[in-house]
Chains A and B, each alone.
Chain A
Amino acid sequence: MIPALPYAHALVAKQDLPLPAWLFAWAASIVLVVSFFALSAAWRKPRFEEERWRPSAAWLTAVLRSWPIQVLCGGLAVFLLGVGIYSGIHGTEAPDRNFAITFFFVTVWIGFPFASALLGNVFPPFNPWRAIARVVGGAYGLLARRPMRHLAYPERLGRWPAAAGLLGFVWLEVVYGSSGGVAVGLEPHAAGVAACVYTGYTLAMMALFGSETWCARGEIFSVYFGMFSQLAPFGMKEGRIGRRRPLAAATRWATSVPGSTAVVIASIATTSFDGAEDGAYKAALEHVERWLTDAGIGPLATIRIADTIFMAATVAGVALVYLLGVKGMRSVPGAPPFRQLVRGFAHSLIPIALAYLIAHYFSLFVYQEQAQFTYLLSDPLGTSTTNLFGTAEYGIDFNALSPNAIWYVQVAALLAGHVLGLTLAHDKALVYWRDYRRASRSQYWMLAVMVAFTCFGLYLLSVGAS
Chain B
Amino acid sequence: MSAAIAIPSAHLGHWLWVFYVIPVLIVVGGIIRSTRAEKKREREDKRTRGSR
Binding site for B on A (CB under 8 A): 20, 22, 25-26, 29, 33, 280, 283, 328, 331, 441, 444-445, 447-448, 451-452, 455-456, 458-459, 462-463, 466
User: Within B1-33, which residues are at the interface with A (CB < 8 Å)?
Assistant: 13-14, 16-17, 19-24, 26-28, 31
B contact residues vs A (CB 8 Å cutoff): 13-14, 16-17, 19-24, 26-28, 31, 34-35, 38
Contact A29 B19 (CB under 8 A): no
Residues in B with CB closer than 8 Å to A456 are 20
Pair B17/A459 contact, Cβ less than 8 Å: yes
Once the chains bind, are B38 and A458 in contact (CB under 8 Å)? no
Whether B38 pairs with A455 at a CB distance below 8 angstroms is no
Closest chain A CB from B14 CB (angstroms): 8
CB-CB under 8 A from B34, the residues of chain A are 444
Contact indicator B24/A441 (Cβ below 8 Å) = no
The A interface, classified by DSSP as helix, strand, loop or mixed, is: helix
For B21, what are the chain A residues with a Cβ–Cβ distance below 8 Å?
455
Contact indicator B23/A331 (Cβ below 8 Å):
no
For B23, the closest partner residue in chain A by CB is A29
Closest to A324 in B: B28
Query: 16 other contacts beyond A22-B16, A463-B16, with CB at 8 A cut-off?
Result: A22-B20, A25-B19, A29-B27, A33-B27, A280-B17, A331-B35, A444-B31, A447-B27, A447-B31, A448-B24, A448-B27, A451-B24, A452-B24, A455-B24, A459-B17, A466-B13
Determine the chain A residues whose CB is within 8 A of the CB of B24 once the complex forms. 29, 448, 451-452, 455
List the B side residues contacting A463 at CB < 8 Å.
Answer: 16
Q: Which residues of B contact A441 (CB under 8 A)?
A: 35, 38
A-B contact pairs, 26 of them (CB 8 A): A22-B16, A22-B20, A25-B19, A25-B20, A25-B23, A26-B22, A26-B23, A29-B24, A33-B27, A280-B17, A283-B14, A331-B35, A441-B38, A444-B31, A444-B34, A444-B35, A447-B31, A448-B31, A451-B23, A451-B27, A452-B24, A455-B20, A455-B23, A455-B24, A458-B20, A463-B16
